[in-house]
Amino acid sequence: MSWESRLQMYNGKTVEIVIEDRAGSDPQAPPTTRSLHHVRMNEEKTHVQFYFNDIQFFAIPVFDDERTRLESSGGETVFVSQDDMAKLNYRLRFL
């Protein structure tokens, strides 16, 4: 099942976005909360695009291993993707 299919159920939900810079070169940005309009894969199938309206989106790289996953605990679901090359961790918590 593709990431696009797995994440469709969160369309219309609120999502909290956290980006962690593992290299430590940039200050940690505060979490931001947005309403998720829809989700789609880019044409190359390398990134999930999280749309906040018909035009604006946030692209997160996806990998075919444990670096990209959905974590569920206590009724909460978090999309996680770890970009080792960019040294960034992406966490989207569905509220």
pLDDT tens for the 95 residues of the chain, in order: 789 999 999 999 999 999 999 887 766 788 999 999 999 999 999 999 999 999 999 999 999 999 999 999 988 999 999 999 999 999 999 99
- Report field, pTM of the whole predicted structure over 0.85: yes
What is the distance between the alpha carbons of residues 34 and 26, in angstroms, rounded to a whole number?
22
Three-state secondary structure call for residue 63: coil
Q: Hey, what domains does the chain have and what are their CATH numbers? A: 3-94 (2.70.180.10)
Q: Which residues sit opposite 18 in a β-bridge?
A: 91
